[in-house]
Amino acid sequence: MAQAMQTPSSTGLIALDWGTSSLRAYRFDKQGKVADRRALPWGIMNLPPAENGADATIDDSADAGFRRALRAACGDWLREAPGTPLIAAGMVGSKQGWREAPYVDVPLAVGDIGKTLTIVDSGLGAPLHIVPGLLQRSALPNVIRGEETQVAGIIDQLQVDELLIGLPGTHSKWVHVHARRITHFDTFMTGEMYAALSNHTILGRTMQRDGAPDEAAFLRGAGVTKTADGRAGMLSNIFSSRTLGLTGELSPRAQADYLSGLLIGHEIAALLALADGRLHARIALIGDDMLCRRYLQVLALYGVTQVEIAPAATEHGLWKLARHAGLIA
């Protein structure tokens, strides 16, 4: 783990949101506005191959694929403005990434995340600074990598001291913030569980996952945990997505939405149980707009109505963390 040591830049910033399956690049001007952006398919598990033998000869190290992806994302930007600082967040800093950026422990102030960046030789004349993930130590440890950047961005945008941030997705995160400090977070594998159940179990055999969403079926599934049957738990309840189809109560399309609602409903019910039935006064959701709206529906079903969908926060968070790190003036 290393501190950012270069002289703060007054010309701008190049920032990367580098995940498992994709790479997004942002070029900021000196005022912190995004002047250009790109999306490439070069996530850490799908790096670009060498174009020819000469390219492989130039750099055949373990870093070569990452350097090719970085060059494709922002090589021309760096040629136009040499010395522009580089920062990256996401799975690029995992054990499977370019270089592991060790986790830092919570609770911690959001401003401290940017003070422990890991520095990598980018091969492009400017070092790459990788943001660390967050580790919550307990009997059942919890980790975040990538979402911490969105949290940093939304805290700065909303300018509030007490907030619960929901990040729905493959691994949904719920992050508690107090006095601009990340104090606690919970993870629910809701999205991945939906994909696994619908694609790799008998539940998916009678499902149809295209066509218009069935909102009534979604809300029916979301409300299961409020019933006596819901006390049997998710592992029991999920089988009903098949049996309701077998008995003719749910169409093939409705079964998929019912299962989605059932899983999200169990997530929200568990979140409320962890909070003894009371969540923060202010809740912000960040993520895919359609998915966030589904979470809004389920939260309202469980009596939680003071919720907003926050604007995209990744690029704003990358800029703020670069400032905290001293990379930009």
| Per-residue pLDDT at 1 exceeds 50 | no
Give tens-digit pLDDT for 316-325: 999 999 999 9
- 250 band by pLDDT with thresholds 50, 70 and 90: very high
Between vectors from CA 271 to CA 266 and to CA 277, what angle results, nearest 5°?
A: 110
- 312 band by pLDDT with thresholds 50, 70 and 90: confident
Mean pLDDT (the chain) is 92
Give tens-digit pLDDT for 42-62: 999 999 998 765 455 455 578
State the average pLDDT over residues 184-190.
97
- Using a 10 angstrom Cβ sphere, with 0-12 exposed, 13-18 middle and 19 or more buried, the burial of residue 61 is exposed
- What pLDDT, on the 0 to 100 scale, is given for residue 145? 96
50 touches 41 (CB < 8 A): no
- What pLDDT, on the 0 to 100 scale, is given for residue 40? 97
Cα–Cα distance for residue pair 294/273, rounded to 1 Å: 20
What backbone phi and psi angles, to 5 degrees, belong to 37?
A: -150, 155
- What pLDDT, on the 0 to 100 scale, is given for residue 4? 47
Cα–Cα distance for residue pair 318/131, rounded to 1 Å: 9
- The residues, ordered by sequence, that sit 6+ positions from 328 with a Cβ below 8 Å of its Cβ are 8, 9, 10, 12, 13, 30, 85, 319, 322
- Going by C-alpha positions, the residue among 185, 187, 21 that lies closest to residue 97 is 21
CATH topology for the 13-187+313-325 domain = Nucleotidyltransferase; domain 5 (3.30.420)
Domain chopping of the chain, boundaries: 13-187+313-325
Cα–Cα distance for residue pair 164/181, rounded to 1 Å: 12
Beta strands in 150-226 (DSSP E): 162-167, 172-178, 181-188
Pairing of strands 118-120, 86-89: unpaired
- What pLDDT, on the 0 to 100 scale, is given for residue 157? 86
Give tens-digit pLDDT for 131-182: 999 999 999 999 999 999 999 999 888 888 789 999 999 999 999 999 999 9
Q: Which range (45-59, 83-97, 202-216, 271-285) has the least confidence?
A: 45-59
Measured between its terminal Cα atoms, the distance across the chain in Å is: 22
- What pLDDT, on the 0 to 100 scale, is given for residue 8? 61
**Residue 96: how many other CB atoms lie within 10 Å:** 11
Q: Which range (54-68, 93-107, 274-288) has the least confidence?
A: 54-68
Please name the amino acid found at residue 120.
V
| Per-residue pLDDT at 6 exceeds 60 | no
For residue 50 the two structure tokens come to 């060498």
Pairing of strands 23-28, 34-40: antiparallel
Q: Which range (42-56, 59-73, 228-242) has the least confidence?
A: 42-56
148 touches 113 (CB < 8 A): yes
Residue tagged 């870093």 (tokens): 63
Residue tagged 């060498």 (tokens): 50
- 265 band by pLDDT with thresholds 50, 70 and 90: very high
State the average pLDDT over residues 220-235.
97
The predicted model scores a pTM of 0.90
